[in-house]
Amino acid sequence: MSGVIAAGNSYTVNAGAEMLRQGGNAVDAVVAAAFVSCLAEPALVNIGGSGIAQVFNPQTGETTVYDFFSTMPGMGGEEGSGIIDFRRIYIDFGAARQPFYIGRASVAVPGLVKGLCALLAEAGSLPLATVLAPAIELARTGVTLDAQQAHMIKLVSPILLDTPDLAAYFKREDQLVQAGDVIRYPLLANTLEKLAQHGPDLFYTGEIAQAIVMDQRRKGGFVTATDLKSYTLHQVAPIEVPYRDYTLLLPSSASMGGVLIAFSLKLLTEHSLSGVKPHGVEHIRLLAEVMRLTNQARISWDVKRNQEGALDYFLSEAHLANYRRLLKSALSGQTTPDPTLPPSPPNTTHISVADQNGMIVALTHSPGENAGFVLGETGVTLNNMLGEMDLHPKGFHLLAPGERLQTMMAPVLALKDGRPMLAIGSGGSNRLRTAILQTVVNFIDFGMPLEQAILAPRVHFEEETLQLEGGIDPEVAFHLDNLYQVNRWTERSMFFGGAHAVAREGDHWTAAGDPRRGGNAQTVA
C-alpha cells in the first residue's frame, strides 16, 4: 500500500492519490489535493483562503501544527482610494437567512499558498511543479460538477453571482450551473503555472501580490504590500489530550475549534461509555450537555485567549472543575442556559492522508465564503474573512493590523502508544467540532470501524435546541423530547458537518469520506 486519502470530492482525492502513486508521501498528496480542491469544490474553498494542518513525522515521532490562517490587513500605513468596498449579502439556509459581507474590504491576508508551499518544501518529497500538475491540468480541461457541489453553488449563489467576472464561472445562458456542467479556469491555470515556476513569492512579493495590492488600493480594500511581504507561517506544537488509551493532538494558535474540542474531550474523560448504548438516551444526553458547557466556556475563551497563560489555564483541572460539577448537575436535570453564539462560515473543506511509511496529515482550509470578485486576469478569487461575524464578535475591522484571526477549523490526529491511528477533520462552522468529537467517540469509545463511525447519526446542541439527525431511534427521540427542545431531521444532512478521515484498523490503513459533504476516499496499492 502506498497510502490512503479521504476528502470532500473525487477530483480532490484523485489528485492526492496520484502523488502517492508517483512515490510521494502524505504531504505531497495533501498539498496536491488541497490545490485541486480550490477548483473542484468552488463553493467551499478558493486559492485566496487560509488553513491549518497537522503533520506526524514517523522518523522523529513528532507532530507539528502548520498555522497558515489569515491575518488582519493594514500594515505599512499605505494609503488607499478613500472608499470602502464592504457589502452585505444574505444567504438563505432554509430555516434562516444569514448575512455575510463581501467586497474588497472583506479580504484578510491570505495564507493558503504560503502554507501549502512551505508544508511541501519542509516535509514533502516531490517538486512543486509535480504537485501542482493535477490542478493545472484540471483548471484547463475543466471540472464536471457533481450534485453536492451544484447544491452548494446554489446555496451561496448570491455571493458567486455578485460580479460579472465571477458569475461567468457559475452561469450558463443566464442559468445557474447544474450537476454535470463543466467549469474551466484557464486564467487560474496560467497563474498556477507561474506558481510552479516562481514559488510562493509570486503571491507575496511578485506579480500576484502586486495585482492584489493594486486592486485593493484602487477599489476599497485594506491589504497592503507590507501585509503580504511580512505574512508568516506559524509552526507550533499541538495540544495533547489523553483520552482513554489514545493521545489526541489538536491545533491551538489560530484554532479556536482545537481548543474547544480539547475542552470537550477533557469533560468526557470523567464519564465512561463502557456499556452505554451508542446513540441511546444516555449517550446523547452526555453529548448534549458537554456541547452546552463547551459553548458556555467558549465565551470566556473569547475574552481571555490573548492573555499570557490563557490556554494552560483554560484546559487546567482548576478551570475544568466547575464545569465537571455543572455537567454532573446537568445530567441529573439541573441545566444552565446555552448562550447565543455568532454564526460562523460553513464553507470549509478537509483532507486526511496516511502513507505507507506512517506519515499522517490532516489539513483543513477555508476562504470564509468568497469575497465576490475575480482578481483581473489572474483568475484568483480571495477570502472574505473580514466579513465573518464569528471571527469579529466585537465588530468588523477593529483588530490591529497583523493580528491573527481565529478559526473554528480543527484538523485532529490521534496516537496510540506513540503510533498514528487517526487523522480527521471537518467542515461545518460550529458543527465541525461536534462532528469531529462524535466521530472520535464512535471510533475510540464504541470501537466502530471508521466508515461506520462517520456514517453514524449525529446530534448538535446549540441555542437551547437539540438537533437530531435522521437515523436516531424514534423511541430515543421521544424520550429526549421530554428533556430538550428537539428538532428532528428525517435524513443525513451537511448541517452536521463532513468528517473525512483515515485510520489504522488492525494491520492496515483505511479511509472514509463523509457523504454529508461529498466525501470520497481511495486506497493506493
pLDDT in tens, 333-353: 888 887 776 555 567 899 999
423 within a domain of the structure (yes/no) = yes
| Average of per-residue pLDDT across 510-524 | 96
165 within a domain of the structure (yes/no) = no
Q: Is the pLDDT of residue 360 over 90?
A: yes
What pLDDT does residue 455 have? 97
Q: Is the pLDDT of residue 275 over 70?
A: yes
For residue 320, what are the contacts with CB-CB under 8 A and spacing of at least 6? 263, 266, 267
Residue 438's pLDDT band (cuts 50, 70, 90): very high
314 within a domain of the structure (yes/no) = yes
What pLDDT does residue 333 have? 84
Q: Which residues of 37-48 are buried (b: 16+ CB within 10 A; e: fewer)?
A: bbbbbbbbbbbb
Q: In whole angstroms, what is the distance from residue 139 CA to residue 42 CA?
A: 12
445 within a domain of the structure (yes/no) = yes
Q: Is the pLDDT of residue 234 over 60?
A: yes
What pLDDT does residue 174 have? 86
pTM: 0.96
User: For residue range 446-501, what is the model confidence (pLDDT) as tens digits?
Assistant: 999 999 999 999 999 998 999 999 999 999 999 999 999 999 999 998 889 999 99
Q: Is the pLDDT of residue 95 over 60?
A: no
| Average of per-residue pLDDT across 148-176 | 94
CB count in 10 Å sphere of residue 282: 15
What pLDDT does residue 96 have? 60
* 304 compared with 5, residue with greater pLDDT: 5
207 within a domain of the structure (yes/no) = no
| Average of per-residue pLDDT across 381-395 | 88
Q: Is the pLDDT of residue 405 over 90?
A: yes
What pLDDT does residue 123 have? 97
- Domain count for the chain: 1
23 within a domain of the structure (yes/no) = yes
Residue 428's pLDDT band (cuts 50, 70, 90): confident
Burial (CB count within 10 angstroms: exposed 0-12, middle 13-18, buried 19+), residue 471: middle
Give the range of the structural domain holding residue 264, as residue numbers without chain letter.
Answer: 1-69+109-143+184-196+231-368+404-520
Residue 77's pLDDT band (cuts 50, 70, 90): confident
Average pLDDT, the chain: 94
C-alpha distances out from residue 111 to 51, 200, 236, Å: 7, 10, 16
Q: Which residues of 120-139 are buried (b: 16+ CB within 10 A; e: fewer)?
A: beebbbbebebbbbbbbebb
Of 64, 191, 348, 378, the active-site residue reads 348
157 within a domain of the structure (yes/no) = no
In one-letter notation, the amino acid at residue 330 is A
439 is catalytic: no
212 within a domain of the structure (yes/no) = no
| Average of per-residue pLDDT across 69-82 | 86
